[in-house]
Every structure is written in structure tokens, then in C-alpha cells.
């Protein structure tokens, strides 16, 4: 497969990258860089490896079986109780979870536009939501995919250019790839891994590869797409950490991303501020589209509904998720309790989903010669153990706080 053909293969992976590099990741990466400089860059490297391992499995499952993970939850278990619990967990964590986080996605994108226009986030938020709804309503997957690819490019250029402008210490940057856990950093490590290894992305990826490719013959293109776009997403996250580390004295505590964007202006003039704001807008807008889409794929599949972009039920799901974000962004309402529930549900679901994915990827009846290799099982098992730890950390933080 030639280089040009591999570039042309880029597609569904862009949705995955755009989904995990959202306002939550931008915020966490900014805080991490400001407080610990380059020390925790190894966390990003691990997160990207873990994401590649799980997303490759998810994409391969969808491509070979031509089923989504929601359908797999229904078909793999014969016990009605287990099946019902699985469906409830998927709908709760993915459906309600994406709706809860949707407000943050829209407000994050609106903050980027507000930074460079001076117009309130409460105005930009609903507009972003309505534009996202218009694109999803077309039901045209190729158009949606192209929008995502374009926005990932915009986001990448914006954040990477910021990182280049600050001229990071390459020696310290390299040293940050050696795993260390400074006192008090565990919550940030769990947060960054948790915003990168995203449960709903597994549902999104398994379904969208079927929109792009036909089957096993396209597996090489699919893998290229997955690895390339997840790595690009990791590069974007790294750039945010690098920028924060260079701009702020180590140990600085920042409360929000807007605060960081403001700090860039006196150091680099208006250009860096614009780049950062545009990147933040792209991060928020892509997440505002990918979260409803993922929620619709997961919920429809788990409930046994048609996974068709133009079907009424499918549209009702993503409209509900997106509508929630639009309303709350306009009201300037912070749905803390709903987000707390979403965090708990997602924290519980991700280890279950990772374990189920490994189980399903060893089913020869479904996958034939495309089942997991020993190495893939070992890597998947290691990632699952880590996400179990993240889930426990999330529960602990919720209980303590």
C-alpha cells in the first residue's frame, strides 16, 4: 500500500481523535503542564498506546463482523439478566454520559470563539450546537467525516504551532517520557488517561468503520487510519502540555483554559492567543458532534434499533444528547450532579467494556482468522488493569469529594 493511498485511507480515526481531544483533555493537559511541567508526558505516551490497542480491536471487530459493540452486548450473552444489566449500563454510561458532558463540549468551543470575538459563550454555545445538528441531520457520513478531518487538521496546526512558538526544553521534554509519579499527581494522571481512553469511542469506531470500508480486505487501511489519527491526537495533547509548561512557572495552578489563553497574549502577542482559541474551538466543536454520534450508535445498538444516520430513532437519540448541551450552554447551567453520575457510570463501564472487547476478539466464530494474537491479548489485558485502576480512582474521588 503506497503512502498516498495510506493518506487517503484516513477517515473514521479522525472522529476518534477529535472525540478524545475535547475541552476536557485540553483542560487536563493545560493543568498538568502548568503544575508539573514536562514530568508527566509519559502519561500521554501510555494513553496513546492504550487507545491504539483498544481502538484497533474495536475497529477490527466492526469491520470483520459488520456489527456494532452495542449489538455484540446483546448477542454474546444468553443470560437475560446479564444482557439487561449490560444494556442498562451502556445506555446509562454512554447515552446519559455523553449528554452530561455535551454542555462542556459546546461551552469549550464557545470559549474559543468568545476569546477572539468578545461575544459571550452563551451566544456562541447554541450556535455551535445548531451547526453541529445541521451537519448530523444531513445523514451524510462522508460529509461528516470530511468535517472532522478538516477540524483535526485545524486543531493540530493551532496547538502544535503554539508549542513550536514557546521553544520547549527538549532535554526536559525527553526526560518527561520516563515514568514518575510526583506527590499529588495521581488525580491528573487518572484524569488524562480517562479523557483519552474513552469508552464511547469504542462504540463510535466499531460503527463508523462500516460506513467507510466493506470488510477484511480493508483491514490494513483501517489500521493505518486508527494508528495515524490516534498518534496525531496524542501529538496535539502533548503540544498543549508543552505550551503550558513553557508559559507558566512549574507549580502554577490554573482554574480554566480561558485563563491559560489569556496568559499567552502578553508573552507571544495576539497570534498565539488566536491559535490557542481556534484550537479550543475546534476541540469543542468536534466533541460536540462526536459525543451525540457515539451516544446514538451505542444506544441504538444496545437497544436493538437500526444504526442508520437517517433513521428517526437514531436521530432522536443524538438530538436529545445535543439538545441537552445546547439548552444548558444557553442557560449557563452547570449540571454537576449529572456529570458526577456520568463519571461514575463511565468509570464502571470502561473496564467492563475493555474486558468484553478482549473476550469478543477471541471468538473464532465471529472473527475467524482475525481474532486477537497473544501479544494483543497481553496488551489488552494490561490496559484493562489500568482502566480498572482509573475506575476505582474515579469512584474514590467522587466519594471523598
| Mean pLDDT computed over 339-368 | 78
Predicted pLDDT at 68: 84
pLDDT at 195: 81
CA-to-CA distance for 13 and 116, rounded, in angstroms? 29
Which residue did the predictor score with more confidence, 345 or 240?
240
pLDDT of residue 2: 56
Residue 114 · residue 121 · CB < 8 Å = yes
Average pLDDT of the residues of the chain = 84
Confidence of residue 316 (pLDDT cuts 50, 70, 90): very high
Residue 387 sits at the vertex; the CA angle it makes with 260 and 298, to the nearest 5 degrees, is 90
Q: What pLDDT does 342 receive? A: 58
Q: How confident is the model at residue 22, as a pLDDT?
A: 84
Q: How far apart are CA 106 and CA 21, in angstroms?
A: 13
Residue 66's nearest CA partner among 367, 326, 399 is 367
Query: For 140-161, what is each residue's pLDDT tens digit?
Result: 988 998 888 888 888 888 888 8
Lowest-confidence segment of 1-15, 62-76, 236-250 by average pLDDT: 1-15
pLDDT of residue 341 exceeding 90, the answer is no
8 Å CB contact between 90 and 73: yes
C-alpha angle with apex 400: 397 to 401, nearest 5 degrees? Answer: 80
Q: Which of 149-158, 283-292, 345-354, 390-399 has the lowest mean pLDDT?
A: 390-399
Q: Which residues contact 326 (CB under 8 A, 6 or more apart)?
A: 106, 125, 126, 129, 130, 133
The 10s digit of each residue's pLDDT in 68-121 is: 888 887 777 777 777 787 787 777 777 777 877 788 888 888 888 888 888 888
Task: Please say if the pLDDT value at position 343 is more than 60.
Answer: no
Residue from 209, 203, 196 nearest 296 by CA: 203
How far is 25 from 188, CA to CA, in rounded Å? 11
28-34 average pLDDT score: 87
Residue position matching grid coordinates 469478543: 360
Spatial CA neighbour of 55 closest among 3, 12, 24, 8? 12
- Banded model confidence at residue 267, pLDDT cuts 50, 70, 90: low
Contact 300, 314 (CB under 8 A): yes
Q: CA-to-CA distance for 112 and 359, rounded, in angstroms?
A: 41
Round to whole Å and give the CA distance between 20 and 192: 10
CA distance 361 to 206: 12
Percentage of residues of the chain with pLDDT beyond 90: 25
Q: Which residues have C-beta within 8 Å of that of residue 289, sequence separation ≥ 6?
A: 18, 132, 135, 136, 144, 147, 148
DSSP class per residue in 135-173? HHHT--HHHHHHHHHHHHHHHHHHHHHHHHHT---HHHH
Q: Which of 42-51, 134-143, 251-260, 272-281 has the lowest mean pLDDT?
A: 251-260
Beta carbons of 292 and 105 less than 8 angstroms apart: no
Amino acid at each position: 500500500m503506497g503512502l498516498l493511498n495510506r493518506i487517503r485511507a484516513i477517515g473514521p480515526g479522525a472522529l476518534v481523535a477529535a472525540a478524545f481531544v475535547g475541552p476536557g483533555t485540553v483542560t487536563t493537559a493545560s493543568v498538568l503542564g502548568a503544575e508539573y511541567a514536562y514530568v508527566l508526558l509519559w502519561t500521554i505516551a501510555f494513553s496513546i498506546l492504550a487507545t491504539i490497542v483498544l481502538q484497533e480491536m474495536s475497529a477490527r471487530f466492526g469491520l470483520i463482523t459488520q456489527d456494532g459493540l452495542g449489538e455484540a452486548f446483546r448477542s454474546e450473552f444468553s443470560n437475560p439478566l446479564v444482557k439487561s444489566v449490560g444494556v442498562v449500563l451502556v445506555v446509562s454510561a454512554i447515552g446519559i454520559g455523553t449528554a452530561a458532558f455535551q454542555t462542556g463540549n459546546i461551552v469549550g468551543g464557545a470559549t474559543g470563539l468568545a476569546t477572539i470575538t468578545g461575544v459571550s459563550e452563551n451566544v456562541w454555545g447554541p450556535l455551535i450546537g445548531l451547526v453541529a445538528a445541521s451537519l448530523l441531520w444531513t445523514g451524510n457520513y462522508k460529509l461528516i467525516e470530511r468535517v472532522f478531518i478538516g477540524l483535526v487538521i485545524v486543531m493540530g496546526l493551532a496547538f502544535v504551532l503554539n508549542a513550536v512558538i514557546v521553544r520547549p526544553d527538549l532535554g526536559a521534554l525527553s526526560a518527561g517520557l520516563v515514568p514518575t509519579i510526583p506527590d499529588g499527581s495521581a488525580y491528573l494522571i487518572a484524569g488524562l488517561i480517562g479523557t483519552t481512553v474513552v469508552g464511547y469511542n469504542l462504540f463510535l469506531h466499531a460503527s463508523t468503520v462500516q460506513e467507510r470500508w466493506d470488510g477484511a480486505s480493508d483491514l490494513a487501511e483501517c489500521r493505518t487510519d486508527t494508528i495515524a489519527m490516534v498518534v496525531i491526537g496524542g501529538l496535539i495533547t502533548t503540544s498543549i502540555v508543552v505550551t503550558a509548561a513553557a508559559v507558566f512557572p512549574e507549580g502554577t495552578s490554573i482554574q480554566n483554559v480561558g485563563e491559560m489563553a489569556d496568559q499567552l497574549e502578553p508573552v507571544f502577542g495576539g497570534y498565539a492567543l488566536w491559535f490557542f482559541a481556534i484550537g479550543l474551538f475546534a476541540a469543542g466543536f468536534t466533541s460536540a458532534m462526536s459525543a451525540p454520534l457515539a451516544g446514538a450508535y451505542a444506544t441504538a445498538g444496545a437497544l436493538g434499533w437500526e444504526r442508520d444516520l437517517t433513521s428517526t430513532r437514531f436521530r432522536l437519540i443524538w438530538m436529545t444528547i445535543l439538545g441537552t448541551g445546547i439548552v444548558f450552554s444557553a442557560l449557563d447551567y452547570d449540571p454537576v450532579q449529572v456529570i458526577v453520575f456520568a463519571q461514575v457510570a463511565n468509570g464502571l463501564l470502561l473496564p467492563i467494556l475493555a474486558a468484553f472487547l478482549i473476550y469478543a476478539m477471541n471468538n473464532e466464530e465471529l472473527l475467524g482468522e482475525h481474532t486477537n494474537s497473544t501479544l494483543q491479548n497481553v496488551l489488552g489485558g494490561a490496559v484493562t488493569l489500568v482502566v480498572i485502576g482509573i475506575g476505582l480512582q474515579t469512584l474514590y474521588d467522587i466519594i471523598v469529594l
